[in-house]
Structure 1
Amino acid sequence: MLEKINLTESNKSLDLIHTASTSKTFVANDFSKEDYHDFLDIAQEIQEKYSFNDHELIATFPDKEAAMKAITRTIDLHIMPLFCVFYFMDFLDRANIGSATLGGIHSDLHLTPAQLSGVISAFYITYIMFEVPSNIILKRTNPRTWLSFIMLVWGVITLCMAFSSNFQSLLVCRLLLGAAESGYVPGILYMMSQAYRPGEFGVRVAILFSMATISGIVSGPIAYGTAFLEGVRGLHGWQYLFIIEGVPTICLSIISYFYLFENINTVTWLTPAQKALHRECVHAQRDSHHTRMSFRTLIKAAIDWKTCLFSVVLFMNVVNLVSYQVFLPTIIDGFGFTVLTTQLLTAPPSLVATLAVIAGGLMIDKYQNKRGMIMSIGFLIASFGYMLLLFVQGRWGMPFSLFY
Structure 2
Amino acid sequence: MKSDSDREKVDWHVIPWLALLYLLNFLDRGNVGNAKLYGLEADLGITDTQYLVALTVFFFPYALLEPATNVLLRRLKPSYFLSFMIVSWGIVMTLHGVMHDYGGLVTCRVLLGLFESGMYPGIVFYISSWYKRSELGSRVALFFTSATVAGAFSGLLATAIQNMHGIGGKPGWAWIFILEGLFTVIIGVFSLWVIQDFPETAKFLSDEERVFIVRRLQDDMKVSASGEKFNSKYIWQSLTDWKTWAASNDGPLFAFSLFTPTIINQLGYTATVANLLSVPVYVWACLVTVFIGFLGDRISHRAYINLCLFGTGLIGYIILIASRNAALSYFAVYLAASAWVAGNVEGAYKRSVTLGMAIGFGNLNGAVTSNVYRANDKPWYPLGHGIVLAYIAIGFICSALFLVGLKRENAAKERGERDEIIDGVVNELAHEKNGTYTTVEQARIDKGDAWSGFKYTY
Same fold? TM cut 0.5: yes
- 1:126 partnered with 2:61: yes
1:294, distance to aligned residue in structure 2 (A) = 3.6
The answer as to whether partners of 2:13 and 2:196 remain within 8 angstroms in 1 is no
Q: 2:14 aligns with which of 74, 79, 100?
A: 79
1:113, distance to aligned residue in structure 2 (A) = 1.4
1:399, distance to aligned residue in structure 2 (A) = 1.1
Q: 2:314 aligns with which of 383, 389, 392?
A: 383
Structure 1 gaps of 5+ residues are: 1-64
Instruction: Tell me the distance in 1 between the aligned counterparts of 2:99 and 2:58.
Output: 15
- 1:106 partnered with 2:41: yes
1:222, distance to aligned residue in structure 2 (A) = 1.0
Structure 2 gaps of 5+ residues are: 336-458
Paired AA for residue 315 in structure 2: F
Larger Rg: 1
- 1:146 partnered with 2:81: yes
Instruction: Tell me the distance in 2 between the aligned counterparts of 1:136 and 1:266.
Output: 18
What is the Cα-based RMSD across aligned positions, in Å? 1.4
- 1:176 partnered with 2:107: no
Paired AA for residue 283 in structure 1: Q
Instruction: Tell me the distance in 2 between the aligned counterparts of 1:287 and 1:159.
Output: 41
- 1:223 partnered with 2:155: no
Instruction: Tell me the distance in 1 between the aligned counterparts of 2:228 and 2:201.
Output: 19
- 1:399 partnered with 2:330: yes
The answer as to whether partners of 1:68 and 1:277 remain within 8 angstroms in 2 is no
The answer for the alignment partner of 2:176 in structure 1 is 241
The answer as to whether partners of 1:157 and 1:177 remain within 8 angstroms in 2 is yes
SS in 1 for 2:308: helix
1:268, distance to aligned residue in structure 2 (A) = 3.4
TM-score (norm 1): 0.80
SS in 2 for 1:346: helix
1:253, distance to aligned residue in structure 2 (A) = 0.7
Q: 2:302 aligns with which of 363, 371, 376?
A: 371
The answer as to whether partners of 1:68 and 1:278 remain within 8 angstroms in 2 is no
Paired AA for residue 82 in structure 2: L
The answer for the alignment partner of 1:14 in structure 2 is none
The answer for the alignment partner of 1:299 in structure 2 is 236
The answer as to whether partners of 1:98 and 1:330 remain within 8 angstroms in 2 is yes
The answer as to whether partners of 2:217 and 2:223 remain within 8 angstroms in 1 is no
TM-score (norm 2): 0.70
Q: 2:51 aligns with which of 100, 116, 119?
A: 116
Matches within 5 A, 1:305-384: 305-311=242-248, 315=249, 318-368=250-300, 370-384=301-315
Instruction: Tell me the distance in 2 between the aligned counterparts of 1:365 and 1:345.
Output: 32
Worse overlay, 379-388 or 301-310: 301-310
Matches within 5 A, 1:40-79: 67-79=2-14
Instruction: Tell me the distance in 1 between the aligned counterparts of 2:6 and 2:210.
Output: 9
SS in 1 for 2:245: helix
1:68, distance to aligned residue in structure 2 (A) = 4.4
Instruction: Tell me the distance in 1 between the aligned counterparts of 2:280 and 2:230.
Output: 43
> Percent of pairs identical after alignment?
28
Say which structure is richer in strand: 1
Paired AA for residue 232 in structure 2: F
- How many residue pairs get aligned? The number is 333
Instruction: Tell me the distance in 2 between the aligned counterparts of 1:135 and 1:168.
Output: 30
